[in-house]
Amino acid sequence: MLKAALLVLGALTLSALIWHIGIGRIYDAVTQLGPAAMILVLLPSLLMYVLEAYGWRVTLGTWANGVPFWRILAIRTAGEVVNMTTPTAYVGGEPLKAYLLKRDGVPMVEGLASVVTAKTTMTIAQIVFILAGIGLGFWLLGAEGSAGQTITAGLVSVGLLLFGVGAFVLVQRQGMFGWILALLRRIGLRIPFLEAREPQLLELDRTIAGFYAHQRQAFLFSTGLFLLGWLAEALEVYVMVLCMGQSIEVLPAIAIGALSVFIKGGTFFIPGSLGAQDAGNLFLLSAFGYGEVTGITFALLRRFREFVWIAMGLACLALLTKGEKAAVPVP
C-alpha cells in the first residue's frame, strides 16, 4: 500500500513538473534531438553496464573462467532490472544473479559471495564518486545558498554511509551471517528459514572472508572497475547536455553525475525513484546554470535510458529463465 502511494505521489510530482514547465516547450526540445542523438545518449550507460559486469566478474575468481562474459552481462542486466523497479534499496536483484549463475556450474554459495563482495566494492566506488562530486560542487557552486546547503547535507550523509560501509566490510570479514544468527538467538528469536540453512550461511561467511583475506588485488581491481562505471554516469551527463545543444565542461558533468547518483540512492524507497530523481535532476541542472526546459528534458532522457535498460533486462531475464519453473533463489 505504501509503495503504491509513493509511486502515485512520484508520478504526480513528475506530472506537475512537466505541466509547470510546459508540455509544448518540452516537446520542442525533445523533437530537436533526432534519432541519432537518442541512440548516442544510450552509449555511456552501455559502457557502464559492461564495466560493472567486469567488476562483478573479478569477484567470482576462478569460477568466472567457466562463464562466458556475455552471460555475466546478461545476468547482471536481469538482476539490475529487479533493483531498478522495486523499492529494495537496490539489493532485490542480487540473490537472483547468484541463482542464475547456477546454470553455469557456479555453486549458490560462491555466487552469493560474489554478489555480496561486488555490492561492497560497487558501494565503495560509489562513495568515492559521490565525495568527488560533493567536493566539485563546493568548488564550483560555493557553500552559500540552497545548493550549498544541499551539498553540505549530502556530505554529512555520505560520511554516515562511509561509516556504515566500513562497518559492513568489518562484519563481513568476521562472518556476517553467523553474526546475524548469533544476534537473533541472543535476543530469543529463532527464524526457522535461517536456522535450517545455518551450514550454508556459515560456508558463505567463510567464502566471503576468504575473498577479503586472499584476493586483495581482485578487491581493488573490482573497486576500480566500478569507479570507472560510475564515471560513465558523468559521461552520460556530458553527452546528454551536448545533444541538447548546450555547452558543458568535464568537472560540472562529474559533479552533476555524482550528485544525481546520491539523490537516486537517497530515494530508494520510492519505486524507480519516480518524481524525486526527476526533480533532483532538474534542481541540479538549474543550480549549474541551465534552464528549466533543459533540466526537465535531461531528466526525461534519463528516464528514456532507464526504460530501454528495463526492457533489455526483462528480455535477458526471459532468455535466462526460459524453460525453468518459478523458484525462490535461496542458498
Q: What digits encode the pLDDT tens for the residues 24-55? A: 777 777 778 888 899 999 999 999 999 999 99
- Tell me how far apart the alpha carbons of residues 73 and 46 are, in angstroms, rounded to a whole number: 10
What pLDDT is stored for residue 310 in this prediction? 93
Enter the pTM of the model. Answer: 0.81
Cell 545548493 locates to 147
Of 283, 275, 291, whose CA–CA distance to 145 is shortest?
283
Q: How far is residue 29 CA from its own chain's centroid? A: 28
127 or 191: whose pLDDT is higher? 127
Residue 68 CA neighbour count, 13 Å, CB half: 4
What pLDDT is stored for residue 188 in this prediction? 73
What pLDDT is stored for residue 34 in this prediction? 82
Contact of 203 with 109, CB cutoff 8 Å:
yes
**pLDDT-wise least confident of 127-131, 196-200, 265-269:** 196-200
pLDDT band at 194 (very low <50, low <70, confident <90, very high): low
Percent of the chain at pLDDT > 70 equals 78
Report in angstroms the alpha-carbon separations of 49 from 34, 65, 75, 236: 24, 20, 11, 13
Cell 525533445 locates to 30
Phi-psi region of 175 (alpha: psi -120 to 50; beta: other; left: phi over 0): left
Query: Ranked by mean pLDDT, which of 51-65, 78-92, 185-199 comes out on top?
Result: 51-65
pLDDT of 215 over the 60 cut:
yes
Q: Is 282 exposed, middle or buried (0-12, 13-18, 19+ CB in 10 A)?
A: buried
Percent of the chain at pLDDT > 90 equals 31
Q: All 3 cell numbers of residue 163?
A: 561509516
**pLDDT-wise least confident of 92-96, 99-103, 163-167, 210-214:** 163-167
pLDDT of 143 over the 50 cut:
yes
294 or 22: whose pLDDT is higher? 294
What pLDDT is stored for residue 77 in this prediction? 95
What pLDDT is stored for residue 307 in this prediction? 92
What pLDDT is stored for residue 172 in this prediction? 65
6 or 218: whose pLDDT is higher? 218
Q: What is the overall mean pLDDT for the chain?
A: 81
- Tell me how far apart the alpha carbons of residues 21 and 24 are, in angstroms, rounded to a whole number: 9
What pLDDT is stored for residue 328 in this prediction? 44
What pLDDT is stored for residue 54 in this prediction? 96
What pLDDT is stored for residue 32 in this prediction? 81
pLDDT of 329 over the 60 cut:
no
pLDDT of 242 over the 90 cut:
yes
Average pLDDT of 290-319? 92
Q: Report pLDDT digits (tens) over 156-181.
A: 656 666 666 666 666 666 666 666 77
